[in-house]
Homo-oligomer: A and B are copies of this chain.
């Protein structure tokens, strides 16, 4: 008799603090209570807040980014019980749709301040900055990065099933060891359990305290369950195969992105938004063993925006850093260099470095591991689609008169003039003795 409207299993309230909404939570822990039950085979809609729970506003300064409280994030919707799911099964999650709320057609991309979150290029770009994006149907554009418009490859940044107690203990062990080995460094290398601002859904006080003590932070993705994998292609139509670790699966989802580039390089780099995700759930009994599954796998949907291979400029980066230092087969260094190559290239059209850094984080760029065996240089590439710009950025283009590129939003006290913009060899960095990512001992 035809489908009636699809059941919404989780609603969010924009007029109430995220921390007071029992169908949300912000830690991974097996004891967070179920927020609803889904049948095997059912399709449901799940509403989600943006990952910060509403801390970021639609404004032209970035003080909210500067001051974001990272103990609170990410607010996820769930966990949901999937009937019949048991440890050792695989939960097949088909993403039928992701949409922003119709009356809130906007999102944000942020660069965190180096002292509060940082990002992939924070040694060079240490200040907080922000771009607001307006949505019109499948497209987005920004008053902070003009002359750009593109279709969102919309997706959830986070989805996964809760860890078992054993899996959680293993996470805490190995991340604890990394933290211990780096405790004198001026950079957080991982985030330990944090009771402050813990949100354990509808849990009672005792459980909530336990979740605060033990619960894994939502920031990293982890191999056993996926979680915050931030995979830009995990968009509409994708099928994700998730290992189940606890009875009922305890599936959670959140951190919806209107778009993201490979790497999400500025950390808050996607176009972050609140929205609604429609998911179909199926249980594959004994799937973990049958599929030989250690980490999630997925198959993309058929509707990725496509530009044609010949409409992308690819930039190459190698594991020699901006100080001329040779690193050994370090893809992380190579990818950072590749990002810098894009920034250098786009400068000539009038954008400043922070605008490009933001754009790289959220536009549908392709980041490839090109060569990983030619010692000592790993090589990565980034493909930048030319057709997201409303002017010609090809190498043949002559940027005759500069377009007005305005600027992105900055934290108070920072302006374009003061920003460190030269990523090249002769740059004068505004911070001293900064530890690079690389210099953290594993």
Contacts and interface: CB of A to CB of B under 8 A. Distances in A.
Contact of A231 (B229, B379, B387): B379
A364 to B, nearest CB: 9
Contacts of A212: none
Interface in A181-196: 182, 188-191
* Stoichiometry (number of copies): 4
Interface stretch (A26-34, A80-88, A102-110, A426-434): A102-110
A313 interface: yes
Interface of A: 1-6, 43, 58-60, 92, 95-97, 102-106, 119-120, 132, 134-139, 151, 170, 174-175, 177-178, 182, 188-191, 219-223, 226, 228-233, 236-237, 241, 262-267, 269, 278, 280, 284, 290-318, 320, 324-332, 335, 337, 340-341, 344-345, 347-348, 366-381, 387, 394-395, 424, 437-438, 440, 442
Given A139-B237, A223-B337, A370 B442 contact: no
A97 to B, nearest CB: 3
Nearest to A140: B3
Given A309-B233, A310-B307, A335-B331, A368 B371 contact: no
Contacts of A328: 178, 182, 189-190, 437, 440, 442
Given A105-B6, A134-B3, A377 B295 contact: no
A295 B308 contact: no
B135 A3 contact: yes
Contact of A372 (B151, B190, B265): B265
Given A297-B395, A302-B151, A373-B120, A442 B330 contact: yes
A280 B149 CA distance: 13
A373 B266 contact: yes
Contacts of A232: 370
Nearest to A366: B368
